[in-house]
């Protein structure tokens, strides 16, 4: 196996400039494609962060809506209690 690799590497170093120039060109092209893909992946990652921030805003709004609903239920119960007390007072005053 080691001999086979050595033979392949030795033939690689015996390449003529006519064979080496296209290989260098292909390598640089592939490296450029990988680099551009990485740049675009960074932009996509930035967009994902924006979406997460919007989801946090929605969660924050949902939390506030739940708090408002809770406060309304409390107020509704308080008004119902006051209404019952007022009816009790009216009933007591009507007796007098």
Residues 4-58 have pLDDT tens digits of 544 455 565 677 778 778 888 888 888 888 888 877 666 655 555 555 556 666 7
Which two tokens mark 79?
């008004």
Instruction: Give the span between the Cα atoms of 60 and 3, in whole angstroms.
Output: 66
Q: Are 15 and 23 in contact (CB under 8 A)?
A: yes
Collapsing DSSP states into helix, strand and coil, what is residue 1?
A: coil
CA distances from 38 to 31, 32, 44, 46 (A): 11, 10, 10, 12
Q: What is the pLDDT of residue 75?
A: 93
Instruction: Give the span between the Cα atoms of 83 and 73, in whole angstroms.
Output: 15
Q: What is the pLDDT of residue 94?
A: 84
Q: So where are the chain's domains?
A: 18-95
Q: What is the pLDDT of residue 2?
A: 45
Contacts of 23 (CB under 8 A, 6+ apart): 15
């Amino acid at each position: 196996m080691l001999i086979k690799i050595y033979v392949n590497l030795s033939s690689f170093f015996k390449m003529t400039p006519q064979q080496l120039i296209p290989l260098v060109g292909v390598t640089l092209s592939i490296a450029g494609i990988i680099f551009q893909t990485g740049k675009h992946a960074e932009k996509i990652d930035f967009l994902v962060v924006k979406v997460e921030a919007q989801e946090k805003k929605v969660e924050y709004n949902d939390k506030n809506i739940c708090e408002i609903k809770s406060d309304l239920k409390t107020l509704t119960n308080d008004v119902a209690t006051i209404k019952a007390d007022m009816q009790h007072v009216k009933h007591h005053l009507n007796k007098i």
